[in-house]
Amino acid sequence: MSIWIDAILRGNSHKVVVGTCFRRTYIFIKWVPSYPKSLNELMGKSSILMLTGNLQKKLHGLIGGFLKSPQLKEQITVDIEKYILSSMTNWKDDQLVYIQDETKNIAFHVLLKSLMSLNPGDDMEYLKQEFRKFISGLVSLPVKLPGTRLYKSLQAKARMVKMVHRIIEEKKASYDTNYPRRPKDVLDLLLQETNDTAEQYFTIDIICDNMIDLMIPGEDSVPMLMTLAVKFLTDCPLALQQLQEENMKLKKSKEQKKEPLTWNDYTSLPFTQNVVTETLRLGNIITGVMRKALQDVEIKGHLIPKGWCLFTYFRSIHLDEDFYENPYKFNPWRWQEKDPSGSNFIPFGGGQRFCPGMEMSRLEASIFLHLLVTRYSWEAEDDSIVSFPTVHMKKRMPIRVKKIMSHF
């Protein structure tokens, strides 16, 4: 896999960290993904995280194209609104709501809808429970003896694969004489590709494995984006006030016209998008990525021998004072004049492995913030961000909510 490496070594010894950059440097060399043994074991060689070459390009391109397609944008906006409002309907005045838990449930529902058109019910609850067991072993000792965390995770994945196999068979039985020309979800898309393509890129086993691996954002990155946005806004009342004013204005305008909000409505709100961007920068939900060199590589006078791993540390880029003034301060206004597509902002990675769900992640966060600030005010209890082994809130971000009077 030939990719450009945005992250290069700096000259000062106390910051010799692969992943800190000051200008885009193109180094056309061969790298392959490299992860801890437990993660390799759980993902498997056919995972989109592990694939290289043409198969990875094909799978990444198909999924990325579908997640940006007009038909998905129209439907997924409605689905996201529905799941968020369904969650918020149960909130009562002065109730303590744990935002991290709420957003995890919302994001998982949205993801399974876009992946397999699965609606809330027994199957979704079963997959949710098994997935929690599966993901608990991603970072664990690489020991597969019965009773170990890795063993339990592998067993959970096997049960999930069995269920996805059943869902595939039910889908295929529901098709008429052929696969749908306009796929409604990622599973339709891959099954159609398997049916139409002579090369037979994707076997049923590859599809099943990747359906499970693609659930990971629903458990981790997207919910934490929404949770951290609430945390940062709570700590910055001026930003919260401006965000609320912008979203109230949009809501009032749409109600007067009796029009539903669209994907473009949500993503065109300038300050809301600045809040999402700043949350991604400061939160560093994805710490970085690991790659293994297939040949000796020299970067800025530092030798990376063949077989060694390179860790691109996003946090050192996003929190570098050379690129961001007061980098540890939540400041969404910094993005009014700064381009988030620059090489110093890479929360979704880059190159051929750029996250295909980037636009949908931002949409989901935008809708959640819109519905939250136009329906509720809140007071947050003390909580803190934990950054290891993954980013999460120590107390799951508890807030005490109160309905805004116009929604009684």
Q: Is residue 402 part of a domain?
A: yes
Would you place residue 40 in the very low, low, confident or very high pLDDT band (cuts 50, 70, 90)? confident
Beta bridge partners of 298: 303
Amino acid at 214: L
pLDDT at 360: 93
The total domain count for the chain is: 1
Residue 57 maps to which CATH number? 1.10.630.10
Yes or no: say if 10 and 300 are a contact pair by the CB < 8 Å rule. Answer: yes
Angle (nearest 5°) at CA 251 between 249 and 252: 65
User: Which pLDDT band holds residue 179 (cuts at 50, 70, 90)?
Assistant: low
Asked if residue 291 is part of any domain, the answer here is no
Task: Count CA atoms within 13 Å of residue 351 on its CB side.
Answer: 22
Tens digits of per-residue pLDDT, 265-277? 999 999 999 999 9
62 contacts 357 by C-beta, under 8 angstroms: no
**pLDDT exceeding 70 applies to what percent of the chain?**
89
pLDDT at 201 over 70: no
C-alpha to C-alpha distance for 352 and 296, rounded to whole angstroms: 22
Own/partner pairs, 23-29, CB within 8 angstroms, 24+ separation: 23/343, 24/343, 25/299, 27/297, 27/299, 28/2, 28/4, 29/2, 29/5, 29/293, 29/294, 29/295, 29/297
pLDDT of 16 over the 70 cut: no
CA dist., res. 367 & res. 359, Å (int): 12
Q: Minimum mean pLDDT among 41-55, 69-83, 217-231, 244-258: which range?
A: 41-55
Q: Return the minimum-mean-pLDDT range out of 76-80, 105-109, 206-210.
A: 206-210
In a domain, 220, yes or no: yes
C-alpha dihedral, 36 to 41 to 45 to 46, nearest 10° = -120
In this prediction, residue 374 carries a pLDDT of: 97
Question: Poorest-confidence range of 41-50, 124-133, 249-258?
Answer: 41-50
| pTM to 2 decimal places | 0.89
**Which residue matches tokens 């939160």?**
283
Q: Where are the beta strands (DSSP E) in 53-159?
A: 96-98
Q: Do residues 56 and 1 make contact, with C-beta atoms less than 8 angstroms apart?
A: yes
What CA–CA distance (Å, rounded) separates 3 from 60? Answer: 14
| Per-residue exposure over 360-383, b if at least 16 CB sit within 10 Å of its own CB, e if not | bbbbbbbbbbbbbbbbbebeeeeb
Percent of the chain with pLDDT over 90: 57
Q: Is residue 127 part of a domain?
A: yes
Q: What is the pLDDT of residue 116?
A: 94
- Mean pLDDT across the stretch 345-353? 84
Give residue 407's pLDDT: 45
Question: Rounded to an integer, what distance in angstroms lies between the CA atom of residue 99 and that of residue 224?
Answer: 9
Residue 213: predicted pLDDT: 86
User: Would residue 50 count as lying in a domain?
Assistant: yes
Query: H or E stretch including 223?
Result: helix 221-234
Is 311 within a domain?
no
Rounded average pLDDT over 157-171: 94
pLDDT of residue 199: 53
Under 8 Å between Cβ of 185 and 116: yes
- Selected residue with higher pLDDT from 309 and 232: 232
Note the Cα 335 to chain centre separation in Å: 21
Cα 385 to Cα 402: distance, rounded to the nearest angstrom: 24
Using one digit for the tens of pLDDT, what is the confidence trace for 221-244? 999 999 999 999 999 999 999 999
pLDDT for the residue numbered 177: 65
H helix count then E strand count, the chain: 15, 11
Q: Taking residues 271-298, report their average pLDDT.
A: 93
- Given a cut of 90, whether residue 18 has pLDDT beyond it is no
Q: Mean pLDDT, the chain, as a whole number?
A: 86
Checking if the pLDDT of 5 tops 70, the result is: no
Residue 325 DSSP code: S
CA 193 to CA 210: how far, in whole Å? 15
Q: Domain for residue 299, yes or no?
A: no
* 353 within some domain: yes
The 3-state DSSP class for residue 18 equals coil
Looking up tokens 């019910």 gives: 121
Residues of the domain holding 60: 34-284+319-407
